[in-house]
Structure 1
Amino acid sequence: MFEIGKVLSSLSSHRPIFHSEADFQHALAWEIKQYYPDSDLRLETKVHGKDSKIYLDLLVVHNKEKIAIELKYKTKALIQNVNNEEYVLNQQGAHDTGRYDVLKDFQRVEHMIENGVVDKGYVIFLTNDPSYYQPPNSYRNTVDKDFRIHFGQKVNGELSWADNTGEGTKKGREKAISLLGDYEMEWSTYSKVNEFNNGHFRYICIPMTINSDIAKSASKMTNLI
């Protein structure tokens, strides 16, 4: 049985911080291989579905089961020495588009499962930026209300930008996101490299699920187009 939670727990003990998303991706792949030596892994690969091909961060084949993993790593400014290695993390900001991109990965993995090119999948988002995981004081009028992913938030169905969203904000991300499953954001501590200076890293690791009735309906609609 493939247990991604145990892999992440093991990884955090010796890699509590990463230089970049690519660093995180390679470290996770290596950890999976150490944990499950008989598995096959492919990074940055293409998976082909019905009338589509999707680039995937990490494909794991374990006991003949194909598992899709999409990763995101968003950072707040931090300079930290860990195990005699200096890490200089950028202030990335752009939380609205960052949230959109995370939920877009939800949709991508769902489509892979729906098309039968993988058996299951996960979206993993790691960050030291509290703006992602802390509930907002108020987001009634924010343009990215639908895309909020803070602790306890539930996301499902069609997610869209507010009508007053600027064209610059949603450039390249204009399309609504449509999810077939229902998800609740449960954030966990990944590591603490310091107590105060943006040193608390948290993550969500969401197993993708598909509501079978919705999936059937979506499939019928696709066939009519």
Structure 2
Amino acid sequence: MRGHNAPDVARRDFLRDVARLERFCDREDQNGLALLITNEAALWRPRQRRMPTRDEEFRIHHGRQLSGTLLWAGGSFPDNTRVLRGAYTLAWRQYTQLEGSSGEFRCLAVFITPSAAQPQWPHET
């Protein structure tokens, strides 16, 4: 993809899928997989700049550990808040290499198991 300038939306939507899969995987015989394949390097690379961004808590770069409540723009957009029941260490892998400046594709797989879908707090049922 060229010039779409929407990695923040891709992050938000990917983590929405992870949270939805956690809700689905509430029985022992259910599990899920959130899979992202992209050539957008901004998704797998950590940010170099230190100025806060609205999707700061939604970063999905290689090595990132995600868990708990993720707030979009510090909570200014409650509809974008995501609550993850599990904990995930993100590992991007090489997918394919095509010719051209944006030819590198990587994939991110997040496996959701019933244990990740179990509530962490007693009041959640």
Q: TM-score, normalised by structure 2?
A: 0.86
How far apart are residue 212 of structure 1 and its match? 3.9
Query: Does the 8 Å CA contact 2:22/2:117 hold for their aligned counterparts?
Result: no
How far apart are residue 217 of structure 1 and its match? 4.1
SS at match of 1:105: helix
Aligned equivalents of 1:129 and 1:162: distance in 2? 22
Q: What is the percent sequence identity of the aligned residues?
A: 26
What is the correspondence of 1:102-121 to structure 2 with a 5 Å cutoff? 102-114=14-26, 116=27, 119-121=30-32
Offset from partner CA, 1:53-81 (integer Å, 9 cap, x none): xxxxxxxxxxxxxxxxxxxxxxx32xxxx
Gaps of 5+ in 1: 1-75, 78-90, 220-225
Aligned equivalents of 2:60 and 2:50: distance in 1? 12
Q: How many residues align?
A: 123
Which of 61, 64, 68 aligns to 1:153? It is 64
Q: TM-score, normalised by structure 1?
A: 0.50
| CA distance 1:117–1:150, shift in 2 (3 Å) | same
Which of 107, 111, 117 aligns to 1:203? It is 107
Q: Does 1 or 2 have the higher relative contact order (CA < 8 Å, sep 6+)?
A: 2
Provide the residue aligned with 2:47 in structure 1: 136
C-alpha RMSD over aligned residues: 2.4
Query: Does the 8 Å CA contact 1:112/1:118 hold for their aligned counterparts?
Result: no
Offset from partner CA, 1:79-115 (integer Å, 9 cap, x none): xxxxxxxxxxxx322111211100000000000012x
Provide the residue aligned with 1:32 in structure 2: none
Provide the residue aligned with 1:47 in structure 2: none
Higher strand fraction (1 or 2):
1
